[in-house]
């Protein structure tokens, strides 16, 4: 059985985990960021003092035996209520209750929920410390807290900084975010480690910033695979190209450790590209200049990975899984 570690957070980690779960030859560990402070996560972090539950809710649902039912339950909310109960998904509330029952032990609460829902695999917080993400933009502006960085529906408010520029650096505040020993063990024992896809600075990089992560990845004999996003994201990677995404990942792990980079080369309809540009100032990510990747230590794998039948741009999870199975099975 192949031991697979997925490092990430956010909606796309759910999709990767769900499709990896279909292969019974994979023993899966999901290492999840704890830097989320956006949307309703802040209500729970502030009121109950626990790590943000949202991305753990998604990961548990993805790996549960009956993902469809668990996801329906976890995503349900009492819209007529207010504050923490009204603002939060049932999955967040259940996990918060389990933390309380477990005398504040977040990992024990996750494991209890996983046992209750017949989860196949492990869901592991990257760190057990209360950390906050901070970033620096091209114009030198420093912004702290994920909710102030992430430009999305869940954080729909006016920003004081210019969001039409790239982030150039990131770090953790409040605590160094010492790598969870269980996360380190999973990385040490892994045959393959998958990073991404997902929001580069608000979902992926916070994991890599944890103290001890760089060393754990450097000492691992696993294949390290980075899945590049299909589109840029306004407020984080607005004007970046594929090479910039890869170099960002390499900046926060030991240089030369990446083995594979997966990039979409499928065609996205022009009308969808135009709409994304007009509405969200996003653009497709494809390799435009192959010479930029000459002499690199990793292998570039370009495939048609987007579903052209949708009116929005996402990776086609089945296509992505076929590529991952090719690499992991080598």
Q: DSSP readout, 43-98?
A: HHHHHH-----HHHHHHHHHHBTTHHHHHHHHH---TTS-HHHHHS-HHHHHHHHH
d(CA 120, CA 62): 9
**Rounded Cα distance, 236 and 128, in Å:** 25
Q: What pTM was estimated for this model as a whole? A: 0.95
Average pLDDT over residues 291-300: 95
Which phi and psi (to 5°) does residue 37 adopt? -135, 15
Asked if residue 60 and residue 209 are part of one domain, the reply reads yes
Q: Would you say residue 157 has pLDDT above 80?
A: no
pLDDT at position 127 is: 98
Question: Phi and psi for 186 in degrees, rounded to 5?
Answer: -60, -40
pLDDT-above-70 percentage for the chain: 94
Name the domain count of the chain.
2
Quote the pLDDT of residue 22: 94
207 found inside a domain? yes
What pLDDT does 74 receive? 95
Query: Does any domain span residue 187?
Result: yes
**Domain check: are 158 and 186 in the same one?**
no
Residue 217 lies in a domain: yes
Residue 175 lies in a domain: no
In a 10 Å sphere around its CB, with 0-12 CB exposed, 13-18 middle and 19+ buried, how is residue 81 labelled?
exposed
Instruction: Report DSSP letters for 232-294, one per residue.
Output: --TTTBTT--HHHHHHHHHHHS-TT---EEEEE-----HHHHHHHHHHH---B---S-GGGGT
| Domain, as residue range, for 318 | 2-127+180-328
- Secondary structure of residue 301 in the 3-state scheme: strand
pLDDT value of position 153: 63
pLDDT at 294 over 90: yes
Q: Is 189 inside a domain boundary?
A: yes
Is the same domain home to 194 and 50? yes
Instruction: Name the band, by pLDDT with cuts 50, 70 and 90, for residue 313.
Output: confident
Complete DSSP assignment for 182-205: HHHHHHHH-SEEEE-SS-IIIIIH
Q: Is residue 174 part of a domain?
A: no
Task: Check whether 79 has a pLDDT greater than 80.
Answer: no
pLDDT at 229: 96
On whether both 142 and 100 belong to a single domain, the answer is no
Least confident of 57-61, 73-77, 130-134, 157-161: 157-161
Once rounded to an integer, what is the mean pLDDT over residues 148-163?
76
CA atoms within 13 A on the CB side of 238: 18
Mean of all residue pLDDT scores within the chain: 92
φ, ψ for residue 127, nearest 5 deg:
-145, 155
Buried b (16+ CB within 10 A) or exposed e, 258-271: bbbbbbbebebeee
Query: What does the pLDDT read at residue 86?
Result: 62
In whole angstroms, give the CA distance from residue 179 to residue 159: 31
| Rounded Cα distance, 54 and 32, in Å | 10
**Same structural domain for residues 20 and 139?**
no
The count of other CB atoms within 10 Å of the CB of residue 156 is 9
pLDDT at residue 225 in the model? 98
CATH number at residue 93: 3.40.50.10680
With 0-12 / 13-18 / 19 or more C-beta atoms within 10 angstroms meaning exposed / middle / buried, residue 24 is exposed
């Amino acid at each position: 059985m192949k031991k697979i570690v997925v490092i990430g957070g956010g909606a796309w980690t759910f999709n990767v985990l769900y499709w990896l779960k279909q292969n019974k030859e994979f023993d899966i560990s999901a290492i999840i960021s704890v830097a989320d402070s956006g949307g309703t996560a802040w209500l729970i972090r502030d009121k109950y003092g626990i790590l943000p539950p949202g991305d753990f809710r998604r990961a548990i649902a993805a790996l549960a035996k009956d993902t469809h039912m668990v996801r329906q339950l976890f995503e349900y909310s009492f819209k007529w209520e207010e504050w923490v109960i009204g603002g939060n998904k049932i999955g967040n509330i259940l996990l918060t209750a389990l933390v309380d029952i477990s005398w504040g032990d977040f990992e024990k609460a996750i494991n209890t929920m996983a046992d209750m829902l017949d989860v196949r695999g492990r869901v592991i917080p990257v760190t057990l410390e209360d950390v906050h993400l901070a970033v620096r933009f091209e114009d030198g502006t420093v912004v702290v807290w994920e909710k102030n960085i992430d430009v999305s529906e869940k954080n729909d408010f006016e920003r004081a900084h210019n969001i039409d520029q790239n982030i150039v650096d990131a770090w953790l505040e409040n605590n160094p975010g010492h790598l969870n020993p269980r996360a380190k063990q999973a990385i040490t024992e892994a045959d393959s480690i998958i990073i991404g896809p997902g929001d580069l600075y608000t979902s992926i990089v916070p994991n890599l910033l944890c103290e001890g992560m760089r060393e754990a990845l450097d000492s691992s004999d696993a294949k390290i695979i980075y899945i590049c996003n299909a589109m840029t994201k306004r407020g984080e990677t607005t004007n970046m190209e594929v090479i910039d995404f890869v170099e960002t990942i390499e900046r926060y792990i030991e240089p030369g450790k990446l083995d594979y980079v997966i990039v979409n080369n499928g065609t996205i309809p022009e009308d969808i590209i135009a709409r994304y540009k007009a509405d969200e100032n996003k653009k497709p990510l494809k390799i435009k200049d192959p010479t930029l990747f000459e002499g690199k230590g990793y292998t570039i794998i370009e495939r048609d990975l987007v579903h052209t039948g949708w009116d929005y741009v996402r990776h086609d999870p089945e296509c992505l899984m076929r590529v991952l199975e090719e690499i992991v099975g080598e």
